[in-house]
Structure 1
């Protein structure tokens, strides 16, 4: 997969995407990440890419042409029009399911806004999808774009050592991940659950799955409504005192 980031801060993005698992994947050639400075396409000697808002208002807005010219240049390099995303608090909230779907794309372009955002016309002409990390606002789109790029990268074959590295993580199966422990077996009087020390793999798998169910029910019960749970999991949660119906559903 190739991911192209369009940003006012390519050095910032490059620094993050050169480290850890993603950085290793890039060096192995499993993943390609390219960071583009759309200021290079400003077309003026001061490299200015923002201007005042029509109709007045606070702040500055990124102009359409520099971004469009940068997008055109990237698409010429690729020889096609890939899926183009814009990081925006107005977009749909990112989920693990959407991350898995985006990982199936051969190429992704992620546009990072700044200031008051981007001229609406470039969004209408180029952007396929607006994505949000949640109902809050950041200074720019770089941090959300890096989070999205990192999440998608982990789903690409060869980036992690094995599929199990992400298949047991929170949200992949619709449940939160089970608690995990390392040495020492007793730390400040707190002991590791005994089942993890037995070496009995079937019992450990069962314990971990039950812990995932309990954690989800305790911390994110709304996830259980969309998780496809077998009857034995439902029975387990009910025995633990968790109701899988909201009060409104129960009373209806």
Structure 2
């Protein structure tokens, strides 16, 4: 199984956040067709993730005797409704560069707050309190449903996907040492150049200072994406 635990699956939040961030950064650089392709796959992934949570985690959360008031089932469902509404709005304005940038920003903010709420409540609240066989059934179901997604929600602004896991770490290692490589790229002449470069430097420092294999792979995937975006904006 791809997911060894519920925590592994919940880490998908981080992946979704990162991919939406990449779409937001790349949005000004791609035409309407390219944007719609990225939106189509990311939208499918977000809709599925919402459906999965509402069919499994939220009902289990609501059965707890004392869930925190800031993360009740109603609050989490409200977040989901906001996300899906913004996704619908984004699909309607995908051809309007200014409008889609505004809606993308709002969607990213709602997703970030929602994920932070779940990380502070659902993850620790459910840890060790669910039947193991139930969780295994959920994970198997999640994998089947995600495998059926078109393009596995990969956004490819320049015809290249962002690698994950060992593939990402190998890609970053090829540029080793990572921090020297990032500094060597310099700050691109782009409205978001300083932000992108600062993020890449911070990620490179985190990769070089991380001894935990799993955490390093996640950081390496983020760094690969940041380096790729730096190259995109630096070539324009």
- TM-score, with structure 1 as normaliser: 0.27
Q: Which has the higher helix share?
A: 2
Q: Which has the higher strand share?
A: 1
Q: Which has the higher contact order (CA 8 A, sep 6+)?
A: 2
Q: Say which one has the larger Rg.
A: 1
